[in-house]
A and B are shown apart, each in its own frame.
Chain A
Amino acid sequence: MTAPDSGSATITQEKATVGHKRLQIPAIYFALTLLVVLVILFTLGNQNFLSAYNLNTIGNYAAILSVVALGQMNTILIGGIDLSVGGLMSFTSVLFVVLLQLIGVWAFPICILVALAVGYVNGAILTRIKIPSFIATLGTGGILTSLALLVSPLPVVAPGSKYGLLDLVNGNLLGIPNLLLLALAAFVLFYVTLRFTKIGRNIYYVGSNIKMSWMSGIDIVGTRNFAFVLSGFGAGLAAIMLSCNQFGGDPTLGNVYILQSIAAVVVGGTALTGGTGGAVNTIIGALILAVMENGMNVVGVDAYFQQSILGLVIIISVALTFDRTKTAMIK
């Protein structure tokens, strides 16, 4: 056999193979197109859709949803899911308002720490007790919902004397609402973590192929725990933002965010099977959900009909990104 000439260029186009077609059209293009189409449709349906007032409404909702969803995204990237974000948000919300009364500004860091700890517990149940995150977080979510109701069975109003502290969220900086700035900060944090840090990259490796990751010496326990801690952080921060925005806590406020956060993540193009997607996807996904939620009301889509449209969008998004080679059987 003749030895191949050593100087030949190896980057060639000739082997441009077409593997899984599904992976070749990044889902993010679908998401972006959907967002643009929705905005155009709703604007055509009602010119007030793009009014400053309405954009502010969409922005508030999108800001809070994207923070929960950015956290949720990490658990989905590793191939898991966090169903406890709802319970955690409810619990953090009432805890925050109660603590605000008692210890003032310290309520902020303490609530964040509590949320981080809850995230760690979720991760530990998955990695140490070794039960699927779907079940683990369903359980902790239930416990947290109870805890929220035990702290306060009814919505609690923030004390008027502490309204100044709420301005940390409700105020403006150079004309930009702090709520949006906080969401932007969360986005930058998650984006940088996933793109430019080793632990962020490890989230992708573990989500893409956990066995390979283990065999290559990646700390898979630590990585999975970290993903759930990030999810706890997102839920905790979102709960604080929401409570400030509403001037009070509510022991049931988190419920809608379980499905909404998962929907935002997958509609943005992060695969439920793990390993692909990212922070940009999630922001777009959250915007799509916020635009749909608001736009369908603005143009007067029958309220009974709205859920089915949302459901359709979720099914299409998952169909586009779901890696069928990873699950031998679709259950």
Chain B
Amino acid sequence: MSAAVLELQRITKRYPGVVALDGVDFTVYENEILGLVGENGAGKSTLMKILIGLIQPDQGTYRLRGAPVVIKNPAHAANLGVGMVFQEGCLVPNLSIMENLFLCHEIGFRHFGFLSKRKMRDAAHAALGTVKVAADLDTPVSETTPAVRQMIEIARLLWLSKLYQQRNPVLILDEPTTVLTDDERNTLFSIATELKSQASIILISHRLQEIVETSDRILIMKDGKRVANIQARHAGIPEIEQMMVGHAFAADRFREDEQIPPGDQVTLTLENVSKRGVFEPLNFEVRQGEIISLVGLVGSGKEALCRCIAGLEKPDTGSIKLAGKRLTPGSPSEAVRAGIGHIPIDRRSDGLALGMTIAENVNLLVLDHLKVGGFISPQREKKNALRWIQDCRIKAPSPSTMCVNLSGGNQQKTVIAKWLSSKIHLLVLDHPTRGVDVGAKDEIYRLIRQLARTGVGMIIMCDTLEEDIGLCGRMLIMKDGQLVNEVNCPPYRKPSPSDIISSIV
């Protein structure tokens, strides 16, 4: 085995109320592709943030090429040959490809005190050559595809490591394929495999298939700990999954035995609803107690569709009816009054008043029912909050605990409690289990089943395809703004992810 280029030993990082990393050992060897997998909240991103100096560990040592280092910030990390390609990308959109490549390091191209464009061009061609990109150097980055942007970032990191004479740089690719097409994905992995001769690559992905196919070695994380370190050629996807979640999938993870058949009454009807340039006219219904999962890639239009249903966006055509009654498009207050709830993907910025108490958040929609003689009664308010705290198993010292002090899972349960306490008929759930731990996930699944039993129709978008399949009764697949397929997912006769993936991409 080749030498270690990067070594983390017993890294611990604590956040208020949660240990994000618990004595993690992490080694990257020269010329390897290391697959890093784990559920959301397992600690992968915290670990990567430590690698590039975005955050500092509370305990543990960081060695680079044998020498202990303290990485001050991402720029420092890049100079030392450790760089990350972010999911969203971190290039300056209105600057050209070449300007982005050499941003902040133009000084080397000085010629009599001025920047020599010719020298820059030559260097840029060489840098892009390593990642096989043939693009016009003067194109603004905003006009390039996500795949090209990733390549520019990789090329930049490689060029920087050469500039600072760092042997075998470490490149972190964080979920690189979520924004790529199939072809682009294959190109990315073939380039990654070629780059192995001069660099090490850490690949983070939720798609275990590509992890197993591309990596040499796989690290599995769970709840802030490293639970396994296996050679990829010995790894099977089911075993990895089992280690990621800590229990076998055969168990009823999504509470399938509680799944009920949809009711007779139609809750939500969409007729010819469309939004220009985002999704084509589409029709579907959600029945009482039915859980519909919307599946599709980024750009499939599913997010915009959900925003239209919740009244956050105005569709261009068509009508949205709740229990046969047409809703005013583009009005969240109207949607809420009619009984449509919406659990946003970003609960901290969109779902909660963080500086206010659990009680104040839970009671937001039902203040009218908590009045005595025209004024909100503190007693009734507390009573109602306690009831829902208990029902949703929100773990907190008291109803007057501020939401900012809750863990992610308990914050999410507070958001759900808010909608549960009001009489909703339809709930849109946008990635309800994102960033919550396994225990809280199960609680959220339980609440979703409970809602279904009370007749609430749901439209759900999940973090993983498995979760979508496990939770929903019917799956609607969107692609390029169109409804391309519909798959039934009855309990115990669920389709497998591979059956579905072909219609998604």
Chain A residues in contact with chain B, CB under 8 A?
A: 1, 3-4, 10-20, 23, 192, 195-198, 201, 204-205, 208-209, 211-219, 271, 275-276, 323, 325
Contacts and interface: CB of A to CB of B under 8 A. Distances in A.
Given A196-B376, A217-B335, A23 B355 contact: yes
A323 B352 contact: no
Interface in B341-360: 342, 344, 349-356, 360
Interface of B: 16-17, 247, 251-253, 310, 312, 332-337, 342, 344, 349-356, 360, 364-365, 367-368, 371, 375-376, 386, 389-390, 393-398, 402, 404-407, 410, 418, 439, 442-443
B333 A219 contact: yes
A208 B353 contact: yes
**4 cross-chain pairs, A with B, having the tightest CB-CB distances, nearest first:** A217-B336, A17-B17, A208-B353, A19-B405
Contact of B353 (A19, A23, A196, A205): A205
A218 B17 contact: no
B350 A215 contact: yes
A212 B332 contact: no
A100 B365 CA distance: 46
Contact of B333 (A3, A4, A19, A217): A217
Contacts of B344: 215
A15 B17 contact: yes
A155 to B, nearest CB: 43
A204 B360 contact: yes
A19 B16 contact: yes
18 contacts: A4-B443, A11-B397, A11-B398, A17-B16, A17-B17, A17-B406, A23-B355, A192-B375, A196-B375, A197-B376, A204-B353, A204-B356, A208-B353, A208-B354, A208-B355, A212-B351, A215-B350, A217-B334
Greatest chain A CB density within 10 A among B247, B355, B404, B405 is at B355
Contacts of A204: 353, 356, 360
Nearest to A20: B404
Given A10-B394, A10-B395, A19-B404, 19 more contacts: A1-B247, A1-B252, A15-B410, A19-B16, A19-B405, A23-B355, A198-B371, A198-B376, A204-B356, A204-B360, A205-B356, A205-B364, A212-B353, A215-B351, A216-B332, A217-B332, A217-B333, A217-B335, A271-B355
Contacts of A209: 349-350, 352-354
A270 B301 CA distance: 42
B472 to A, nearest CB: 20
A3 to B, nearest CB: 8
Nearest to B373: A196
Contact of B402 (A23, A201, A212, A214): A23
Contacts of A3: 442
Given A12-B395, A217-B335, A1 B356 contact: no
B353 A17 contact: no
A8 to B, nearest CB: 8
Nearest to A215: B332
Contacts of B386: 11
A198 B355 contact: no
Contacts of A12: 395, 397
Contacts of B352: 209, 212
A215 B342 contact: yes
A204 B361 CA distance: 11
B405 A18 contact: yes
Most buried by B among A16, A19, A216, A275: A216
Contacts of B349: 209, 211-212
A211 B397 contact: no
B397 A16 contact: yes
Contacts of A10: 389-390, 393-395
B332 A214 contact: yes
B154 to A, nearest CB: 28
A241 B351 CA distance: 43
Contacts of B253: 1
A321 to B, nearest CB: 10
Given A11-B396, A217-B337, A17 B442 contact: no
B442 A4 contact: yes
A29 to B, nearest CB: 16
Contacts of A205: 353, 356, 360, 364
Contacts of B252: 1
A19 B402 contact: yes
A13 B404 contact: no
Nearest to A12: B395
A218 B312 CA distance: 13
Contacts of B350: 209, 211-212, 215
Nearest to B393: A10
Given A204-B360, A211-B349, A217-B332, A11 B389 contact: yes
A198 B406 CA distance: 25
B312 to A, nearest CB: 6
Contacts of A1: 247, 251-253, 442
Contacts of B353: 204-205, 208-209, 212-213, 275
Nearest to A211: B350
Contacts of B336: 216-217
Contacts of B394: 10
A135 to B, nearest CB: 25
Contacts of B368: 198
A215 B376 CA distance: 22
